[in-house]
């Protein structure tokens, strides 16, 4: 066999794992290499995810040259909730070679099977709050922050390895600007309620507000497909990681009678600022990033999270909460000079959310797909 798959355990030397993307995406103008520092952090033994999970990394070599990569991981919190014996693979990137892709996925499946799992699902890195799915539409534009990018052939290679599609997810493109009258009416209906207050995240009390956002997020998304609650440690780690780039104006926390009820937060799209860094922040990458972020300012942003606690969703007078948040985020983007933003990701079967985004003028411009097979 001309393909060799080597395992790199958590904490091992990730250089081959990180650098393999250079040969895979060399001639892809839409690819933006993620920062190596971020990937190393997420695949470190001490990452909070691995306090309730187990994982490892694989790199495929074809005729001695790095040709593909993926991770395999088991989320024990997922098992506790769903009891479906599903394990996951993520960070899936490969050259256009069916044997390379099959060998990688088979090796991940073998690793998961040895630990008692019955099915393999992916790509998913590392949970449903991060990168989900393989890009199957929208190859002609770069990915947003914390969204995956793939070559046009990679979905087909996954299917060739015996996995079937189980779910699609959308990324929506939204132009900052005029707001539909219906959304404005919803905004005004909430704005005029005396028990409703709204504020931005307080960066001086970030840990407190991360807990507030987490409380709303866990409640709002608890019934969504595949959802697994984040631990407090995972949320705090994400907050610390985003502290450097977060812009308070791109956040909203709504209280009703003093209780956190809804939230929305967006992040500046640093992918528009790191394309020439080749994944490196030292020695000159970090100063470049900070200058582009803090001085020049972003042109685009990604709406990462928007949620309303379940107890408020069916209360008639609070029906405009989602419209209120959409309008607030649009106005915040306009005030910062943003040209457009991505709203991502949304489940293909989440009708209310998708209808709301359409109402605001959003258009699907990327589609991601999850796959699964028996081990």
Above 90 in pLDDT, residue 368?
yes
Residues above pLDDT 90, as percent of the chain: 92
CATH of domain 3-170: 3.40.630.30
Architecture category of domain 174-366 in CATH: 3-Layer(aba) Sandwich (3.40)
Mean pLDDT over 254-274 rounds to: 96
Please give the Cα distance from 106 to 157 (Å, whole number): 12
Q: Which residue's structure tokens are 């009891």?
A: 83
Please give the Cα distance from 259 to 271 (Å, whole number): 35
Above 90 in pLDDT, residue 178?
no
Sign for the pseudo-dihedral over CA of 352, 148, 110, 36 = negative
Residues above pLDDT 70, as percent of the chain: 100
Please give the Cα distance from 351 to 110 (Å, whole number): 37
pTM of this structure: 0.95
Note the pLDDT tens digit of each residue in 89-113. 999 999 999 999 999 999 999 999 9
Note the pLDDT tens digit of each residue in 221-255. 999 999 999 999 999 999 999 998 999 999 999 99
SS3 for 164? strand
Q: Residue 125, Cα to own-chain centre: how many angstroms?
A: 8
Mean pLDDT over 255-260 rounds to: 96
Sign for the pseudo-dihedral over CA of 336, 306, 165, 234 = positive
Spatial CA neighbour of 60 closest among 87, 13, 97: 97
Note the pLDDT tens digit of each residue in 36-83. 999 999 999 999 999 999 999 999 999 889 999 999 999 999 999 999
DSSP-H helix ranges across the chain: 15-19, 21-24, 36-42, 76-82, 98-113, 154-160, 181-191, 206-221, 232-242, 285-290, 310-313, 321-335, 351-359
Spatial CA neighbour of 165 closest among 373, 360, 374: 373
β-pair type (53-62, 65-75): antiparallel
Cβ contact 174:361 at 8 Å: yes
Instruction: Give backbone dihedrals phi and psi of 28, rounded to 5 degrees, phi first.
Output: -105, 105
Sign for the pseudo-dihedral over CA of 116, 95, 364, 163 = negative
Note the pLDDT tens digit of each residue in 119-140. 999 999 999 999 999 999 999 9
For 233-261, give the DSSP string.
Answer: HHHHHHHHHHTTT--GGGEEEEEETTEEE
Above 80 in pLDDT, residue 1?
no
- CATH 3.40.630.30 in the chain, residue ranges: 3-170, 174-366
Phi-psi region of 361 (alpha: psi -120 to 50; beta: other; left: phi over 0): left
Instruction: Give backbone dihedrals phi and psi of 61, rounded to 5 degrees, phi first.
Output: -120, 125
Confidence at residue 301, expressed as pLDDT on a 0 to 100 scale: 97
Confidence at residue 179, expressed as pLDDT on a 0 to 100 scale: 87
Q: What value does the mean pLDDT of the chain take? A: 95
């Amino acid at each position: 066999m001309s393909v060799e798959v080597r395992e790199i355990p958590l904490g091992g030397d990730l250089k081959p794992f990180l650098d393999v993307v250079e040969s895979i995406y060399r001639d892809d103008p839409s690819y933006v290499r993620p920062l190596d520092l971020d990937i190393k952090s997420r695949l470190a033994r001490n990452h909070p995810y691995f306090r309730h999970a187990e994982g490892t990394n694989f790199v495929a070599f074809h005729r001695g040259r790095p040709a593909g990569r993926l991770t395999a991981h088991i989320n024990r919190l997922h098992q506790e909730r769903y009891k479906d014996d599903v394990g996951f693979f993520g960070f899936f990137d490969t050259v256009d070679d069916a044997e390379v892709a099959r060998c990688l996925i088979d090796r991940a499946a073998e690793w998961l099977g040895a630990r008692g799992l019955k099915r393999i699902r992916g790509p998913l890195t590392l949970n449903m709050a991060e990168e989900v799915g393989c890009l199957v539409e929208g190859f002609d534009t770069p990915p947003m922050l914390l969204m995956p990018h793939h070559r046009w052939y990679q979905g087909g290679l996954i299917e060739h390895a015996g996995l079937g599609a189980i779910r699609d997810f959308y990324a929506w493109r939204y132009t900052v600007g005029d707001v539909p009258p219906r959304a404005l009416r919803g905004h005004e209906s909430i704005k005029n309620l005396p028990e409703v207050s709204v504020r931005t995240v307080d960066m001086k009390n970030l840990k407190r507000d991360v807990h507030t956002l987490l409380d709303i997020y866990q409640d709002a998304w608890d019934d969504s497909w595949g959802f697994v609650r984040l631990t407090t440690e995972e949320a705090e780690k994400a907050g610390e990681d985003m502290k450097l780039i977060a812009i308070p104006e791109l956040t909203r926390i709504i209280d009703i009678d003093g209780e956190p009820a809804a939230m929305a937060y967006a992040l500046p799209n640093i992918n528009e600022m790191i394309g020439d860094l080749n994944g490196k922040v030292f020695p000159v990458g970090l100063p470049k990033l900070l200058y582009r972020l803090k001085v020049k300012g972003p042109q685009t942003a990604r709406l990462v999270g928007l949620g309303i606690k379940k107890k408020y969703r069916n209360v008639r007078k609070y029906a405009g909460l989602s419209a209120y948040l959409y309008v607030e985020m649009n106005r915040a983007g306009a005030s910062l000079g943003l040209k457009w933003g991505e709203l991502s990701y949304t489940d293909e079967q989440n009708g209310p959310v998708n209808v709301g985004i359409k109402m605001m003028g959003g258009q699907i411009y990327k589609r991601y797909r999850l796959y699964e097979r028996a081990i």
